[in-house]
Amino acid sequence: MKSIILIGIGLGLLVGCNQPQKEVRNEPVVSATISNPTNIVKLSSEIEYEKLNPARGDQSPQAGTIWGDRNGTEATGFLAKFVDGFSSPPHIHNITYRAVVIKGLIHNDDPNAEKMWMPSGSFWTQPQGEAHITAVKGEENIALVEIDNGPYLVHSTEQAIDNGERPINIDVANVVWLNSNRSNWVSDESKAELSFLWESDQGKGLFLKLPAGFKGTINSEGTVFHAVVIQGELTYTLPQGEEQKMLDPGSYFGATSNSVHSIQNHTELETLVYIRTNADFQVN
């Protein structure tokens, strides 16, 4: 198996080295009021799907764009939906992508690798030009896929290259969490936890885990802030008119300037959110 499975101590050291120490806690990065909020919400039910590979007919995965344009050149996030039992032929992509399992079980690896089924909350990367297959099983199979630039294309393995990157598969059971004792990005009172997944000149990506009963804010000063619910539910209050939205898995909230995201977890279960941003934020 060519994939690298990151486990506890390695990922913990990686993220720990990048985070400030507890004794130099940051203050919230923005105030609680934004004069011209750019907050937006897109419910999972509002996402429009189209065939990712029309040549495969009904067996084609479905793609529903959340932000950007996978056929264009900008950074893009979309939901990929697969029918039960789907398995792709070996293929490559023209660009590197990252992905998070939302529903079902997904395997993504070298064509000759044994199946490693990743459940909801797992994260993987697929380097540009590397031959692989994607397979799924489950009544409903959905993944969040993001790219730093498009277009997102599929090619035959005859065009395979080694661009120096290596794939990463992180099963949800191997995600390492940082609480307020380890990261200044979350307050003691929030009882939230973070897991840093990647960082580049395009920004950074991480998981945010919110406990049952959470009620608070995410304060961001980024010009890029994309958040997708992976597990659980959140009630989101838009600052424009105080309208409340119920966000289930696959739903999105974001902003394009300094922002305050008012959220609540009314359920008795934890809620997991994937965030892509280009700046620090504070959970209170």
Q: Which of 7, 55, 75, 24 is nearest to 185 (CA)?
A: 24
Q: Which of 141, 147, 151 is nearest to 104 (CA)?
A: 141
Q: Among positive and negative, which fits the CA dihedral 278, 281, 283, 284?
A: negative
Q: Superfamily for 4-43+175-283?
A: Jelly Rolls (2.60.120.10)
Q: Which residues neighbour 60 within 8 Å (Cβ) at sequence distance 6 or greater?
A: 51, 52, 53, 54
Phi and psi, residue 266, nearest 5°: -80, -5
3-state secondary structure of 282: strand
Q: What is the pLDDT of residue 32?
A: 57
CA distance 2 to 160: 15
- Domain 48-173 indexed as CATH 3.30.70.20: no
Query: Looking at residue 178, what DSSP letter applies?
Result: B
pLDDT in tens, the chain (284 residues): 444 444 443 444 344 434 443 433 334 444 457 889 999 999 999 999 999 888 777 878 999 999 999 999 999 999 999 999 999 999 999 999 999 999 999 999 999 999 999 999 999 999 999 999 999 999 999 999 999 999 999 999 999 999 999 999 999 999 999 999 999 999 999 999 999 999 999 999 999 999 999 999 999 999 999 999 999 999 999 999 889 999 999 999 999 999 999 999 999 999 999 999 999 999 99
Three-state secondary structure readout of 63-132: EEEEECCCCCCCCEEEEEEECCCCECCCEEECCCEEEEEEEEEEEEECCCCCCCCECCCCEEEECCCCCE
Q: What is the pLDDT of residue 18?
A: 45
Q: What is the pLDDT of residue 55?
A: 76
| Global confidence as pTM | 0.89
Question: Please, which residues bridge with residue 179 across strands?
Answer: none
Q: How many residues does the structure list for the chain?
A: 284
The CA-atom distances, in angstroms, between 68 and each of 75, 146, 226, 266 are 6, 10, 11, 31
Helices (H), the chain: 8-18
Query: Looking at residue 155, what DSSP letter applies?
Result: E
Question: Please, which residues bridge with residue 205 across strands?
Answer: 198, 276
Q: What is the pLDDT of residue 27?
A: 42
* Boundaries of every domain in the chain: 4-43+175-283, 48-173
Q: What is the pLDDT of residue 241?
A: 87
Q: What is the pLDDT of residue 9?
A: 36
Same fold, 4-43+175-283 and 48-173: yes
